[in-house]
Amino acid sequence: MAAVIEFFNSDCYSGPTDRASNLRKTGNHNGVLYDAFISWIEQSSERNVAFWYYSRMFLYYGPLLELFDISTSHVLGQAREVCYILQLLTYAHLNFKNYFTETFCHVVNFLGKWPLAFRKLLQKNCAVNLSGKKGAAIEMDAFVESEMVQPLKSYVTGKRRVISRRLCIGVLCFAPQFFLASLFFQSCPQNVFQMGIQHL
């Protein structure tokens, strides 16, 4: 927001005549404002190194967050992998060692360690769509938090601590198994289950 205000007050901001002519040509102001914004960023970055550094916030991190949200809501596994790879730079720069280590392990796993079939399985099942609407999926860990952990926490509220510890230990022990089982069931063809039921 500060960058937009600074751009609005700068000399690079296009005047009313430029905006009016672009509006007549294209039906909007996007082209002339975009060109002026890019030239403002280039000029300001040449004059001030601090501006160049802070401009990374809205030129790099903002689109990265948007890409992650879109890839999650539309279950785009390859786009999520791109986000994980690009996050490595962010976490290394900010010195977030735990996040960097976790992301690095995940990148190494899906790029080299896991079999291709398992990687494709995770790409297609990286999010859960509870409503069935297009673009309304949520992350798997958000699903576990909202649909399993939160109901258990609200159930346990007011009970003795021993019961809550046992329930939390049960969730921690069995949640990964439920997650892998759900991945397996979603990836198998339906006739596999029908054949299995017939043999029971």
Q: What DSSP designation does 125 have?
A: T
Q: Tens of pLDDT along 106-150?
A: 899 888 888 999 889 888 888 888 888 888 888 877 777 777 788
Inter-residue contact 72 to 127 (CB < 8 Å): yes
Instruction: Please state, in angstroms and rounded to a whole number, the distance separating the CA atoms of residues 187 and 173.
Output: 23
Q: Does the structure show a pLDDT above 70 at 173?
A: no
**pLDDT, tens digit, for every residue of 59-95?**
888 888 889 889 988 989 899 899 999 888 888 888 8
The fraction of the chain above a pLDDT of 70, given in percent, is: 78
Spatial distance between the Cα atoms of 191 and 200, rounded to a whole number of angstroms: 14
Ranges of each domain in the chain: 56-124, 129-187
Global model pTM greater than 0.75: no
Sign of CA dihedral 161, 175, 103, 54: negative
Residue 168 pLDDT: 53
- 169 versus 32: the higher-pLDDT residue is 32
State percent of the chain over pLDDT 90: 5
User: Quick one: three-class SS letters along the chain?
Assistant: CHHHHHHHCCCCCCCHHHHHHHHHHHCCCHHHHHHHHHHHHHHHHHHCHHHHHHHHHHHHHHHHHHHHHHHHHCCCHHHHHHHHHHHHHHHHHHCCHHHHHHHHHHHHHHHHHCCHHHHHHHHHCCEECCCCCCCCCEEHHHHHHHHHHHHHHHHHCCCCHHHHHHHHHHHHHHHHHHHHHHHHHHHCCHHHHHHHHHHC
